[in-house]
Each structure stands twice: as C-alpha cells, then as structure tokens.
Amino acid sequence: MPHLTLTDNNIKNQPSLTTLLKNDVQSQIHAFQDLQTIAGKSLQELCKQNANLLVFPHCLNEHNNGIEELSICELVGNPNYDGDTICDVENVKVKTGNLMGFVGLGGNKNHNTKLEIRSRFTENSNDNGQDFFLHYMLEKVFRINLFDMNYSHSKNDGFDLMFLIFPHLFKRALRQGIFRTYRTFQKNDAAVKGVIDINRHIKQNTPFNGKIAYRSREYSADNDITQLIRHTIEFLKQKEIGKSLLNSDNDTKDAVKQIVAATDSSYCLQNRAKVIHNNLRPVNHPYYFSYKYLQQLCLLILRHQSMQYSQSNSPVYGILFDGAWLWEEYLATILCDTKLAEKQFLHPSNKTGKGGIRLFDNSQNDDDEIAFSKCYRRIYPDFYRKNQIILDAKYKHFENGFVRDDLYQIISYMHTMKIATGGFIYPKKVDDGWLRRFAPRNDKGMLAPSNDKTKLDFFNVEDFCFSGERGFEAVDFEFLKTYKLANDTGTVLTFAFPVPQNVESYKNFKLQMSCSEKHLKEFSKTF
C-alpha cells in the first residue's frame, strides 16, 4: 500500500516515485497506476465522478477564481509505461498544485495508494506526520477548539482532517433546523391515524385485542439523514479526538442532544450498513441545502475503513483544501475580528457577490456589452479599510519580490478605490527560536529586544506578551517592507507573517502563531 507524502505547489522540488518510495519498484508501479486516475484532471471532473471526495471551498464554480479547474497532481516525465512495468521510473515525478489534504486511491484492492499533501510552509525535523500549519488554519477558520494534536499521525490517513471539519458542518446544518422529511410508519395501536393495513391487522390482531394495524405518513425528524448523523456521532465518541470535538463548545453539545433526542427510539448500531446504503443518494433539498455536505462528510467518515481496502465503488476519496482560499479565510479571522469599527477590515466575497467594488460607472445594466464579462465588472479585494489601505492575501513565497500580475492587480485596486496604500500578506517560514528575540520590558507586560539567547518558556510568554498599547518590537526580523510608487502616487508594502518551523509540540506552535497574529493586528492599526 504505497503512501506518498508531498507538499503543495512543489514546482521547484518535484520528487520522483523513486525518491518517494525508495527502491520498492513494485510500489512505484502501483502508485503510478493509481495516480493516473487523478493526474491532470480538474476538481470539477473528479468531484462529479467521486461522491466521497470532499473539497473546500464548496460550490467550486461560484468563486470566479478558477478553483474548479485545479488538479490534485500531475505526473511529469516520460515513464515509458507498457502496462505492467515502468522503465526509467526515476523520470516520473509528481507535481502538486494549490491543494492540501488527503486522497485515497482505492481503484485496486491489491494496491491502494495514499496521497498526503502538506503545506509547503511546514517543516518537521522528526517527520512525525504532523502538519501544524494546516491544522492550525483549519482550527481557526472552522472555529475548532483543540489544545493538542498528539492524535495526528500519517497512519491516520486523513482521518483527523475529517474529524476536524465535522463540528463546523454539523452546526451549520443544524442552524437550518433539524432535518425533517415524510416517513411511512407501520403502527399497531388503538389511536388510528392513517391507512388501515388489513392483511397485517388480521395477522397481528386475531382474535381482536383492541388494536388496529395501520400505516401512517408523518413529517418526522427521525429519518435516514438524522440516523446517519447519529451513527457518525456514536463513531466519533469512540475516538479520543472525536470525544474532544463533540464537547468542544456548547453549540456542538446542543446539536448532539437534538440528534440523539430525534433518533433515540430507533437507533441501532447493527443498522449502520443499512443507514449508509440509504444515504448513498445525495440530499437535494432547496431548504436543507447544508445537509448535503454534512451527509457527504458523514459517509466519508463511516466508510473510510472500507474504502481503504477497496470495499467500495468509489476509486477516489478524501478531503482537500484550496491553500489560497484557506490562507485568505484564516487572515479574515485576524483582520476582521475587532470591536473597533474604525479599524475593521472589510472582506468582500466573490462567492456570494457581496462587497464587490463597481469597476465601471456606466455598466449598471446587466445586458450592457460595455467590456468584459459580467463577473469582471466588480472587483473583490481580499481586505480593505475604506480610504485607508488594501491588503491582498498571497499563499506563496514572496521573498524574491513582486510577481508582475500581483503588482498590477493591487495597483489597479488602489487606483479604482482611490486608496494610496496597498500591500500583500504572505506566510514566511521562521526558525523555532524567533521569539527569543523578545523579553519582558516592565511590569506592564510589554516586550523589548533582548540579547539574551536563552530560550523562552513558550507556555508563559503569553502572560506578558502584547498587553501594552504598543505591542512589541522585533529584532533582526523584518516583518514589513515598503515601496514608494513613482511620482509619489502611492505605497505598496509586503508583510511577512511568521510561521515557525520544526516546533516540538502543537501547543508551542499555537502560542507562537498567536504572537504572529497579534503583531499583524498591531501593524493593521497603524493605518
């Protein structure tokens, strides 16, 4: 069973199958055969063909940014493949795109390839299979309360990612109300409400005992969907991380209580296979539309073990996240989470069409053929504060300077919106000891530069970090770079967001990331 571990966007470092699978030629052949089922195919195509492939964001074609055209990976090089063997296998390399997560390729029961794609901004010296950066962004974006990540290991085959997303989709679906549908019940009592079943009545109530057998059609909360959710909840309760997630907040606990109450009289563990079978048809309800994605995730969780060993008809399964989308939504939790209205960043959504800035004054008519297509008549900057600053989230390495298209885009935003300052926020890998550059300044709890290289206790550093009005200062770390446009027409800046590497524990990683977040907040207040 080949297991490939890659990073996203590995343009400069595309590993060969020889590198990934060492000298196991047979595994290399199997991996090549399995990867052919997804290589070069768009997400839109793969999702249509594989119901057990869950991708974030949902509604791919509604984002107007080409997410639906992304591919999971590509095979690069000439394998000289004849159907049974691979000659020159070292020439076959695996190229990844902007997607992170886990994919299982179960097309052949004899060799199921596992493809794990981590963030390119994660380095682990001990190769323990933990992608702290990806998990942390998921925790923030989906509002998950986790304190440790000892459960996460590459052997879990993406299980942890499925678990992490469950509370979010669960609560979002329940906000539409508990799922109800019409069901036919067979009853036998004296309170007749429905159609009498004569044959069953004769069999069950002869001689007459005061009861009548009948069929009743009721609008019930006990149905195939709620049963599926209930089985998923009971499955999660058996896992340490599952129990933690189900008890992480009051909203999740209340949602669990609603499902348990609705299904308590009919839930039976032995019916799990039947419940799964009854949910193979996707929910297609105009009101309960959020249940479609919850149903998909529940099936993915409950069927994961069987899919691992090809006991399903789905050759491709897993969970994936668009890196650019996830990075942008993560920054939104920082920049848009403030109680100060004058410092609030606006975060337009091209998915919903909300918050867009009109590009043409004379294109008010939808039928106007003035220029370009309808989707280009509004611009959607990632973040902006009116009359002050525009910020663009870039999930890429930015140390080598601007990319022309990125630069032209931000300048066009600045010109259209008449804002003199614009810039980019990008992740930057820093060593684990970058916080050593700070030390307590005074009783107010502020930080000041220190020459003391003694490693700080990260469990206590938050006690004195950022409690002052000015925040903290950096030593030997350049967060911010500014560039003046010609003729003093504006300023373009870059903000390097520190992402610590080779951190021993997830708790330490979270603390250091909170320091990065607070520094970004301090920076954003200066405009």
The predicted pLDDT at position 454 comes to: 41
Cβ-based burial of 218 (10 A; exposed 0-12, middle 13-18, buried ≥19) = middle
> For residue 513, is it within any domain?
yes
In this prediction, residue 481 has a pLDDT band, given cuts at 50, 70 and 90, of confident
pLDDT at position 9 over 90 = yes
- pLDDT digits 0-9 by tens, 365-405: 554 444 444 555 678 899 999 889 999 999 998 877 788 89
- pLDDT digits 0-9 by tens, 248-282: 889 999 999 999 999 998 999 999 999 999 999 99
- pLDDT digits 0-9 by tens, 380-389: 899 999 889 9
> For residue 110, is it within any domain?
yes
> For residue 368, is it within any domain?
no
Are residues 169 and 200 part of one domain? no
Are residues 240 and 116 part of one domain? yes
Are residues 290 and 210 part of one domain? no
Tell me, what DSSP letter sits at residue 490? -
> For residue 367, is it within any domain?
no
> For residue 374, is it within any domain?
no
Task: Indicate the average pLDDT of the chain.
Answer: 80
Are residues 455 and 415 part of one domain? yes
Percent of the chain with pLDDT over 70: 75
Dist. CA 212–CA 198, nearest whole Å: 9
Answer with the residue of higher pLDDT: 478 or 99. 99
- pLDDT digits 0-9 by tens, 168-221: 999 999 999 999 988 877 888 888 887 888 888 888 888 888 898 888 888 889
Q: Which domain holds residue 401?
A: 336-347+382-524
Are residues 461 and 421 part of one domain? yes
* Exposure string for 86-99, b = 16+ CB within 10 A, e = fewer: beebeebbbbbbbb
Cβ-based burial of 300 (10 A; exposed 0-12, middle 13-18, buried ≥19) = buried
> Considering only CA atoms, which of 69, 9, 74, 67 is closest in space to residue 45?
69
- pLDDT digits 0-9 by tens, 502-511: 888 888 888 8
Are residues 342 and 455 part of one domain? yes
- pLDDT digits 0-9 by tens, 411-450: 999 998 999 999 999 999 988 767 655 544 444 433 444 4
Q: Which residues pair with 495 in a beta bridge?
A: 425, 480
Are residues 234 and 122 part of one domain? yes
Q: What does pTM read for this prediction?
A: 0.83
Are residues 190 and 157 part of one domain? no
Answer with the residue of higher pLDDT: 356 or 498. 498
Are residues 341 and 274 part of one domain? no
Mean pLDDT of 451-461: 40
The predicted pLDDT at position 433 comes to: 66
pLDDT at position 225 over 50 = yes
> For residue 362, is it within any domain?
no
Range of weakest confidence among 93-102, 134-143, 230-239, 330-339: 330-339
The predicted pLDDT at position 516 comes to: 87
- pLDDT digits 0-9 by tens, 422-433: 999 999 998 876
Are residues 202 and 231 part of one domain? no
